[in-house]
Structure 1
Amino acid sequence: MISGFDRRRNVADEIFADEVGIAYGIYGEFRLRSLYQPIFAPRGAALAAVAVEALVEPHLAGRPSSAQAFFDQIPAGDRLFVEAMCRALHLRNYSNIGVEGLDLFFNFNPLINDHPGRALAEIRLMGRHLADFGLSAGMLVCEVTEQAADDALLLKLVHEMRRDGIRIAIDDFGAGHSTEERVSLLSPDIVKIDGAWFSELCRHAAAEKFFRPLVSTLHDRGAKVLVEGIEHPAHLRVALEGGVDLLQGFHLARPKLAGTIFNENPLAIEALLEPVGLEPAGKVIQLHQRR
């Protein structure tokens, strides 16, 4: 267990830059680094990168370690601080992706950010500094994670972000608390289909038949549909035939550390649909913890 943090410290005091200008955070013995995973949109016969999702990779003694294990051992009183540090890192490192104009997806956990005044203050502070990092509010997409949360608080936070121009995505639809009721409550701009749920759906012969009406229903509600966890050609085929707007997953591109050369070339759909060995025997499980 990581020992408790001094509550009087500011996030900015724990963020530094390496010799080439890549920002990293310090928490206890860990050095936190930004990862970005591309998100693609169909463009004719190709997939074009249109956004990235910001993730974090903890390093211990100079080596990457499990993000899930890292977050699981953070004391409850420090979790808001660490979440805020991760968001600050991702904003600062955005310019180190090396590609202009990509939207930036970031996560917001309503169970950790559960104090209305504090959460609203954090959102407003973030908005004031976006220009410093080459970002505008219209380029940001806040992913509301699937945990249960007070509906009144969620509505207030979503209203505040939308007022500033930030778009809203419901994460992991089909799992946990990301349901049609949550879609009706928040009227999100984007709905992210849970990767494990989608992988299980793709195991059925008539997957496209069942998936297409869901995508159509979400479109009718004014939301774009993003499928995460695209790990195999079969996943991509079902998603594309279902008419989704955005795609993300290891079969398309893995997360890369800030400062890594970003491949701007569109991906040929025909090549991605070619079989690459045996299809998975079970569910696809996410290999990283999003923050």
Structure 2
Amino acid sequence: MHKQALILVQQGPVHYHPRRKPMHCPECERIKALVHPANRLLLSPPTSHTRQKLLDIATRRHLTVIPVDDPACLDIRLSRADMDPFLTETNGALSQEETDHCRALLLDGDKEPSLSDYLSTRTLRWLIAAVKGQWLVTMLENDRLFSMLQPICRPDGSIFGYEALLRGREADGDIVSAGSLLSVAAETQLMFTLDLAARREAIKAFAKKRANGAKLFVNFNPSSIYDPAYCLRTTQTFVRELGLTPADIVFEVTETAEVKDQAHLRGILAFYRQSGFRVALDDIGAGFSGLNMLQELRPDYVKIDMALIRGIDQDHYKQSIVRHLVGIAGETGARIVAEGIETEAERGWVREAGADLLQGYLLGRPAPV
């Protein structure tokens, strides 16, 4: 093994290959096995001190360490059962800086690395997160994701639509929150797969609900879309197969503060609108980025951050902000959705302020279909 090969490769996204035929574009949903029954772990530590710590851990765990040409590197053989304990101890023993600068390449059995393998070299920090995230891969492959639907109501209390909220189910039946799923997906480059799988589950749940005339609000992260034309085309097919139309679906842009490429986002939303879908911006009022995008993107719906709605009937500062947001949205033609309503007083205030639609525990909690 050559140390330079491990050090100089560029970090790129890893993808996974699902066992069944994917609904989405191949670039969004390719999955490959990460941990094998027998594994060869090649490591290029940043310093001799880090190398010694890794060697000590491998020795304590009675792992086989193969001599290599470059004494600064390590070649460790591990079984599937060895992998998680070794990486857990490594994560505790090494600093974040060490795991960030240690290059790692995991191979099947005694395989000799090829050039393409070297190009897949990642940081040890990434490998630790990825192995710990294998439960998410298993959840995806075994269809243990599902959507709960929370009602979005008109001011008179009638149902206008539903927001789909992602959940996972462990093998023992325990429910996994969307936050936990997204956190692991972000660390392990699975956002592409998870985001699109969540979209599919949302559409399935809504089709099962058969809420005539209602809209479905589907969260999506714009950074998870490689090819908007392909992804949209397959989404359209799925929507029609379940007896829905694009007009039934509102795509809700999440993580607005993280959007780095607004041109890319505008392109995605243009594809969606041209095909009959509607778009919403989430958590407006949480920061300047959302306000800027409100002006740039002119969404069909604007969802006001629930932190502004909580206790608004008693907070003049929040009231001033929300009144301005309602006015700005009205000028762009967007409809206002007030999120996080939990009291009658909050509902009364936002209704009087001109909110078009209301959402929150007072009006209905998320529920499985």
- Same fold by TM-score greater than 0.5: yes
Match of 1:54, SS state, is strand
1:144 CA displacement: 1.0
Letter of the structure 1 residue corresponding to residue 249 of structure 2 = L
1:204 CA displacement: 1.1
Contact 1:38 1:50 in 2 (8 A): yes
Q: Distance in 2 between matches of 1:57 and 1:210?
A: 32
Q: Which residue of 1 aligns with 2:17?
A: 7
Contact 1:207 1:238 in 2 (8 A): no
Q: Distance in 2 between matches of 1:8 and 1:211?
A: 44
Q: Which residue of 2 aligns with 1:126?
A: 235
**Percent identity at matched positions?**
30
Change in 2 beyond 3 A, CA 1:29/1:158: closer
> Which digits, 9 at most, give the CA deviation of each residue in 1:71-99, with x for residues without a partner?
21234322211111111111122222142
Q: CA RMSD in A?
A: 2.5
Equivalent residues, number: 239
Q: Distance in 2 between matches of 1:206 and 1:178?
A: 20
Query: Counterparts in 2 of 1:14-33, with a 5 A limit?
Result: 26-27=139-140, 31-33=144-146
Is 2:342 the counterpart of 1:231?
A: yes
Q: Which residue of 2 aligns with 1:191?
A: 302
The alignment's TM-score, normalised by the length of structure 2, stands at 0.59
Over 6 Å off, 4+ runs: none
Q: Which residue of 1 aligns with 2:367?
A: 256
Is 2:166 the counterpart of 1:56?
A: yes
Q: Which has the higher contact order (CA 8 A, sep 6+)?
A: 1
Letter of the structure 2 residue corresponding to residue 53 of structure 1 = E
Q: Which residue of 2 aligns with 1:277?
A: none
Match of 1:73, SS state, is helix
User: Given the alignment, which residue of 139, 143, 156 partners 2:252?
Assistant: 143
Q: Distance in 2 between matches of 1:135 and 1:28?
A: 25
Q: Distance in 1 between matches of 2:18 and 2:320?
A: 55
1:159 CA displacement: 0.7
Is 2:183 the counterpart of 1:173?
A: no
In terms of fraction of residues, the more strand-rich structure is 1
Contact 1:188 1:223 in 2 (8 A): yes
Query: Counterparts in 2 of 1:42-81, with a 5 A limit?
Result: 42=155, 46-60=156-170, 61-74=172-185, 75-81=187-193
1:208 CA displacement: 4.4
Change in 2 beyond 3 A, CA 1:228/1:132: same
User: Given the alignment, which residue of 202, 205, 215 partners 1:93?
Assistant: 205
Query: Counterparts in 2 of 1:155-174, with a 5 A limit?
Result: 155-174=266-285
Query: Counterparts in 2 of 1:111-122, with a 5 A limit?
Result: 111-113=223-225, 115=226, 118-122=227-231
1:217 CA displacement: 2.4
Q: Which residue of 1 aligns with 2:328?
A: 217
> Which digits, 9 at most, give the CA deviation of each residue in 1:21-76, with x for residues without a partner?
xxxx942688211111110012xxx3110100111121111121332123212343
Q: Distance in 2 between matches of 1:166 and 1:192?
A: 17
Specify every segment of 5 or more residues in structure 2 that has no aligned partner in the other structure, as ranges: 1-13, 30-137
Larger radius of gyration: 2
Q: Distance in 2 between matches of 1:168 and 1:184?
A: 14
Q: Distance in 1 between matches of 2:267 and 2:159?
A: 32
Match of 1:235, SS state, is helix
Letter of the structure 2 residue corresponding to residue 39 of structure 1 = I
Change in 2 beyond 3 A, CA 1:62/1:210: closer
Contact 1:30 1:59 in 2 (8 A): no
In terms of fraction of residues, the more helix-rich structure is 2
Specify every segment of 5 or more residues in structure 1 that has no aligned partner in the other structure, as ranges: 15-24, 259-291
Match of 2:259, SS state, is coil
